[in-house]
Amino acid sequence: MEKRIIECVPNFSEGRDMSVIKQITDVIEAVGGVKLLDVDPGKDTNRTVVTFVGEPGAVCEAAFRAVKKASEVIDMSKHHGEHPRMGATDVCPFIPVSGITMEETVVYARKVAERIGNELKIPVYCYESAAFEEKRRNLAACREGEYEGLKKKLADPAWKPDFGPAEFNERSGATAVGARDFL
């Protein structure tokens, strides 16, 4: 049987302070069965794209721990950068690599999204294949208004988060969790 592998490519709203980025990547690397493939910080965008792979359970645990660490070390109320963003962990997509279907990957993505919302009290929107409704499939629609417009967006019943409170989290913002193909 082919080994089940998924990739996770979270984007964190910090691209300048390498000590903050390292704290996030350290919690990812601490999870057994996960391989950190790339860390790509951007000074102008003030955003870091991290790529890691492994078996689904390990990748989900690493993703959750990374989102938790980002919520502790990144304060969105002080964040400025050129890239659109709405949270300390802006996006957290899961990508099927081998031995796993998109449908199975969606289940894993939604479990992580639910855990982020319930345990960390961060509003979460599910996007792409993990979206619960068509208007949320597109990441740009979920992110519209960005961090600065999030308080207003969360007050709109049409944009109630899929998981987590419909309350503005000033420090962490909101997170989009998805399941998608490779870009």
The C-alpha torsion from 182 through 68 and 80 to 109, rounded to 10°, is 30
Catalytic residue among 65, 83, 137, 171: 83
- At position 57, the amino acid (one-letter code) is G
Under a CB-based contact definition with an 8 Å cutoff, are residues 38 and 8 in contact? no
Neighbours of 131 (CB within 10 A): 22
The answer to whether 79 is a known catalytic residue is no
Under a CB-based contact definition with an 8 Å cutoff, are residues 76 and 173 in contact? yes
156-163: long-range contacts (C-beta < 8 A, 24 or more apart)? 161/117, 161/123, 161/124, 161/125, 162/113, 162/117, 162/124, 162/125, 162/126, 162/132, 162/136, 163/113, 163/114, 163/116, 163/117, 163/118, 163/123, 163/124, 163/126
> Would you please indicate which residues are annotated as catalytic (active-site) residues?
83
